[in-house]
Amino acid sequence: MKNIALALVAMIGFSGAALAQGDAAAGETKSATCVACHGADGNSPTDMYPKLAGQHPKYLEKQLKEFKLAMETGGEKGRNNAIMGGMVAGLTEQDMADLAAYYGGKSMSPATTPEEVVEAGQKLYMGGDAARGIPACTACHGPRGEGTELSGFPKISSQHPAYIKSQLELFRSGERNNDMNGMMGDIAKKLTDEDIAILSKYISGLH
Taking only the tens place, the pLDDT of each residue in 38-88 is: 999 999 999 999 999 999 999 999 999 999 999 999 999 999 999 999 999
**Residue 8, pLDDT above cutoff 50:** no
Least confident window among 5-9, 27-31, 69-73, 170-174: 5-9
pLDDT at 207: 73
**Residue 13, pLDDT above cutoff 60:** no
Nearest to 108 by CA among 188, 25, 195, 9: 9
pTM: 0.88
CA–CA distance, 100 with 62 (Å, rounded to integer): 9
Largest CA distance in the chain: 50
Beta bridge partners of 134: 129
pLDDT digits (tens, 9 = 90+) for 87-133: 999 999 999 999 999 999 999 999 999 999 999 999 999 999 999 99
**Residue 190, pLDDT above cutoff 50:** yes
Number of residues that make up the chain? 207
**Residue 37, pLDDT above cutoff 50:** yes
